[in-house]
């Protein structure tokens, strides 16, 4: 494993430099990350024949991430998400007797940290190599009042590429005033290789007996619903496209899958890892396993991709050309008493870990 080096990707409109950091492991997996948005620019893994392909959606140039077309679509390709991942209803929450108003950048709701969330800031970056692997530490301080949130939040995120073909993501944050926090990562994966066909034939397993149904603005209704007998039952490996077009109110609200799944964590401590999901692509044999310390995972089937954005191989990203599995606390938790709390208090340390493990299999066991 090694840190290969750094190169300049470009400059932001204010002149600040955006760099690409490249890492490889002993098995040839290559990770490229930029300090703008903590974006994973590319991730190359082998198929059954040993051919390496880039399996995450995105662009080759900084200008593409800054373009009007991208900002209008705002798919968050490969980015770090915060201060609050997912949605907050009507861009408001109350905390300690005070009501806070946030940007409403998703219809009437607040999404993924607002107009300038963590996906659109320049992080301090420091590459490293140690016994665990090689990777990048990213640091950012979100000042009190940024995007309407209370408290000065100091955030560290560490990406580690290991020789066990794992990509580990460790999140850490502290605050000087109570504030809601849930951080995640938003890569879109296509295990055939980015720019390939849709992800509808990928077989997905989610370790969740329940999900949180949503209303027509994609906000949870505050209910925990069994997946049994519904299109949301991925407790056994199932092709993503098998039931995505079924007549179902929840699928209609999301335009497909855009839902939080309540992970089965019985008898598992809240800070310990649990298997959250597996995805296997039959043609390449690529298998991705996701483990997390988080209580939920948002499965998004790329419903709003519409061909307006052109990827790294010059192919348009059409509907369902990538999927996201975002480990996190539940959407709208600051307004939902029945959901696990996302409030970080002064003196506490927010910690979260998610691990993506890559391998190949001829058949899904």
Q: Catalytic amino acids?
A: 186, 326
- Report DSSP letters for 272-298, one per residue: S-EEEEEEE-TTT-EEEEEEESSSEEE
Burial of 241 (0-12, 13-18, 19+ CB in 10 A): middle
Which own/partner pairs from 58-66 qualify as long-range (CB within 8 Å, at least 24 positions apart)? 58/188, 58/194, 58/311, 58/312, 59/311, 59/312, 60/312, 61/9, 61/10, 62/9, 62/10, 62/11, 62/12, 62/18, 62/34, 62/36, 63/10, 64/309, 65/36, 65/37, 65/39, 66/12, 66/13
Dist CA 20 CA 14 (whole Å): 18
- Please state, in angstroms and as integers, the Cα–Cα distance from residue 216 to each residue in 73, 213, 231, 254, 318, following that order: 20, 10, 17, 8, 23
Alpha-carbon 349 to chain mean position = 21
């Amino acid at each position: 494993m090694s840190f290969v080096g750094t190169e300049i990707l470009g400059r932001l409109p204010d002149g600040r430099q955006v760099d690409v950091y490249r890492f490889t492991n002993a098995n040839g997996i290559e990770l490229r990350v930029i300090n703008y948005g903590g974006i994973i620019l590319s991730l190359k893994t082998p198929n059954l024949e040993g051919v390496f392909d880039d399996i995450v959606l995105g662009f080759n140039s900084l200008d593409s991430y800054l373009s009007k077309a991208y900002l209008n679509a705002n798919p968050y390709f490969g980015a770090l998400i915060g201060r609050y991942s997912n949605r907050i209803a009507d861009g408001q929450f109350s905390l300690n007797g005070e009501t806070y108003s946030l940007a409403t950048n998703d219809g009437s709701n607040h999404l993924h940290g607002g107009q300038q969330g963590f996906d659109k800031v320049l992080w301090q970056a420091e590459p490293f190599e140690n016994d665990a692997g090689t990777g990048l530490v990213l640091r950012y301080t979100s000042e009190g009042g940024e995007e309407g949130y209370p408290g000065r939040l100091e955030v560290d995120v560490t990406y580690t590429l290991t020789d066990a073909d794992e990509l580990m993501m460790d999140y850490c944050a502290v605050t000087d005033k109570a504030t809601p926090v849930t951080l995640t990562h938003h890569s879109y994966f296509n295990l055939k290789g980015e720019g390939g066909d849709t992800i509808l034939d990928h077989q997905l397993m989610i370790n969740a007996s329940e999900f949180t149904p949503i209303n027509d603005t994609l906000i949870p209704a505050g209910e925990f619903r069994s997946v049994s007998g519904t299109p949301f039952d991925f407790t056994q490996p199932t092709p993503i496209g098998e039931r995505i077009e079924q007549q179902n109110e929840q699928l209609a609200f999301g335009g497909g899958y855009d839902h939080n799944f309540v992970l089965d964590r019985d008898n598992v401590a809240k800070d310990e890892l649990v298997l959250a999901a597996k995805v296997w692509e039959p043609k390449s044999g690529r298998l991705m396993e996701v483990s997390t310390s988080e209580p939920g995972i948002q499965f998004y089937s790329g419903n709003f991709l519409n061909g307006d954005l052109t990827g790294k191989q010059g192919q348009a990203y059409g509907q369902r050309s990538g999927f996201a599995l975002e480990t996190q606390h539940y959407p709208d938790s600051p307004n939902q008493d029945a959901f696990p709390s996302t409030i970080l208090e002064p003196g506490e340390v927010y910690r979260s870990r998610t691990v993506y493990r890559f391998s190949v299999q001829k058949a899904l066991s």
